[in-house]
């Protein structure tokens, strides 16, 4: 795979006359052609700082970032604009401008002083809008679009810039879940067609499912990188995100909230119904113990067509439930009564 960007022993941060603040130390990695890479880390870990250094907006504090074997800091703005397109989280003023006009600004590195688009430029603009699935919106005012549609416009603008590399800073921030998935899948598709895409994100679950590589910035300034699976095997991601209130569950491959349990109840069964039951009871401080043993009090889950839940007490079927709300209320009452009797 072609390495488009090489990062060699880079330290990132800010320097002024009084002090130097380092946020990333000894970062070494590469961005290859056709990769979707997600940059993860807690707030303040230095994700945006690294990205700004990669596109030449901010000088590094040490090491070097090479774009096609050329130091980014020595390249002119014009050369960089033809190699790297940037989509930042900064709000763009979009009053009285259409989608087609805004995407057309992506051609500015090629249009000269007057910024007039020729036939080829217009074809590239139209193709970029179409690739992002918003061709039917090209004559709409940008301010009239939804947040997700506006984000696609900004991605289309980056595509119109016709660069091999696209950097995006939190492109799914403030979007609802279906729209976040939609935008991530669009970026995944663009990478599969040859674009090299690096995006910072807090969407850990989506990053683990869709990214080719993960770049992981630790809170102490250290850096790790690799496929999502290798980082999970090495516990790199778990070590960063595991806290007292959240932990990685290797059974589901996702992060779960750590609950404080006051009670425990046995459950017979498996499938979707048991998963939902665990969630509902955990919120109430009741831990589910999945077992086949016949205890004094247990819940049997039938997940054949639609989950049904039967409470068994002292060897008898006490009551059957189809609504989780009613089941949880019943279990809470019984466990509280049992605690009082003890």
Residue 289: the pLDDT is: 93
- pLDDT 10s digits, 235-257: 888 777 666 677 777 666 777 78
Percent of the chain with pLDDT over 90: 65
Angle between helices 119-131 and 147-160 in degrees, nearest 10? 140
pLDDT, average across residues 245-271: 82
Q: Tens of pLDDT along 55-78? A: 888 999 999 999 999 999 999 999
Per-residue pLDDT, 258: 81
Which of 215, 327, 201 has the alpha carbon at shortest distance from 273?
327
Residues 205/45, Cβ–Cβ less than 8 Å: no
How many separate helices (H) and strands (E) can be counted in the chain?
Answer: 12, 17
3-241: CATH, from 3.40.50.300, 3.90.320.10, 3.30.1490.20, 3.30.360.10: 3.40.50.300
Q: Could you report the per-residue pLDDT of 184-243, keeping only the tens digit for each?
A: 999 999 999 999 999 999 888 899 999 999 999 987 778 999 999 999 888 888 777 666
Given this model, what pLDDT does residue 268 score? 94
As a whole number of angstroms, the distance between CA 219 and CA 33 comes to 28
- Burial grade of 210 (CB within 10 A; 0-12, 13-18, 19 or more): middle
Same topology, domains 3-241 and 263-341? Answer is: yes
Instruction: Name the residue with higher pLDDT: 163 or 305.
Output: 163
Per DSSP, 141 falls in state B
Pick the CATH number of 263-341 from 3.90.660, 3.30.390, 3.40.50, 4.10.240: 3.40.50
pLDDT of residue 113: 63
Give the C-alpha separation, 39 to 294, whole Å: 48
CB atoms inside a 10 Å sphere around CB 68: 15
The encoded tokens of residue 322 equal 């189809």
The CB-side HSE value for 20 (13 A sphere, CA atoms) comes to 9
Measure the CA–CA gap between 81 and 87, rounded to whole angstroms: 12
Q: Quote the pLDDT of residue 109.
A: 92
pTM: predicted TM-score of the whole model, two decimal places: 0.82
Domain spans of the chain?
Answer: 3-241, 263-341
Mean pLDDT of all residues in 292-297: 88
Mean pLDDT of 35-42: 93
Instruction: Specify which residues 205 forms β-bridges with.
Output: none
């Amino acid at each position: 795979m072609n390495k488009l960007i090489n990062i060699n022993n880079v330290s990132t941060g800010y320097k002024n006359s009084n002090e130097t603040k380092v946020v990333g130390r000894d970062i070494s990695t590469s961005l290859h052609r056709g990769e979707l890479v997600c940059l993860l880390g807690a707030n303040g870990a230095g994700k945006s700082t690294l990205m700004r250094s990669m596109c030449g907006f901010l000088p590094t504090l040490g090491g070097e970032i090479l774009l096609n074997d050329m130091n980014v800091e020595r390249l002119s703005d014009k050369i960089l604009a033809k190699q790297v397109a940037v989509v930042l989280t900064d709000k763009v003023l979009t009053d009285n401008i259409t989608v087609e006009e805004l995407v057309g600004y992506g051609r500015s590195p090629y249009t000269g002083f007057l910024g007039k688009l020729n036939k080829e430029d217009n074809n590239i603009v139209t193709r970029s809008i179409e690739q992002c699935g918003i061709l039917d919106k090209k004559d709409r005012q940008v301010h009239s679009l939804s947040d997700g549609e506006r984000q696609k416009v900004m991605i289309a603008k980056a595509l119109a810039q016709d660069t091999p590399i696209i950097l995006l800073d939190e492109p799914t921030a403030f979007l609802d879940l279906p729209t976040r998935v939609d935008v991530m899948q669009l970026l995944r598709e663009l990478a599969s067609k040859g674009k090299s895409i690096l995006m910072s994100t807090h969407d850990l679950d989506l990053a683990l499912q869709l990214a080719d590589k993960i770049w992981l910035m630790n809170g102490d300034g250290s850096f790790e990188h690799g496929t999502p699976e290798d980082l999970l095997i090495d516990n790199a991601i778990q070590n960063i995100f595991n806290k007292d209130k959240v932990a990685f569950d290797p059974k589901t491959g996702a992060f779960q909230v750590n609950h404080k349990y006051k009670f425990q109840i046995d459950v017979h069964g498996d499938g979707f119904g048991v998963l939902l039951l665990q969630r509902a009871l955990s919120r109430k401080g009741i831990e589910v113990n999945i077992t086949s043993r016949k205890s004094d009090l247990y819940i049997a889950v039938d997940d054949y067509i639609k989950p049904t839940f039967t409470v068994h007490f002292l060897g008898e079927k006490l009551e059957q439930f189809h609504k989780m709300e009613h089941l949880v209320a019943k279990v809470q009452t019984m466990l509280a009564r049992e605690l009082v009797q003890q």
